[in-house]
Amino acid sequence: MPTYCYETKKGKVFDRVFSMGRAPRSIVVDGQRARRALSAELQSVPSSKGWPLECLGSGVNATDAQELRDVLKNKGVPTRVTNDGNPIYTDARHRRRALKARGFIDRASYC
């Protein structure tokens, strides 16, 4: 069954599972009315599930952190990089683009 996203007026996003075609336009969560948030559903992983993600596996040595920032920016994928050299990906799409820009393939990500 698919997951649908709902957002309150304060901007808090919730996800709920409904049968295909049975998702209501709005729900009540914690006493607040939340309307269906199509833009949140277009994200490959809802932000409540681990994004942004600091990736140790595609990190570099701390002395090369600035070089990594520059390379990704020049390739059109601006990315925050920690002082330790680990890139911080904002969502799955950003992660795929940054890895591709560096010539990496993550076979476990199915992309």
DSSP one-letter code for 62: G
Please give the sequence-ordered ranges of beta strands (E in DSSP) within 9-104, or none if there are none.
Answer: 13-17, 26-29, 32-36, 53-54, 80-81, 87-89
Contact 54, 84 (CB under 8 A): no
At 44 the pLDDT is 54
- Is the per-residue pLDDT at 19 higher than 70? yes
Domain edges within the chain: 3-42, 53-103
The pLDDT tens digits of the residues spanning 24-82 come to 999 999 899 999 998 777 765 444 567 898 999 999 999 999 999 999 999 999 999 99
Residue where the block lists tokens 């990500």:
109
Q: What is the pTM of this model?
A: 0.55
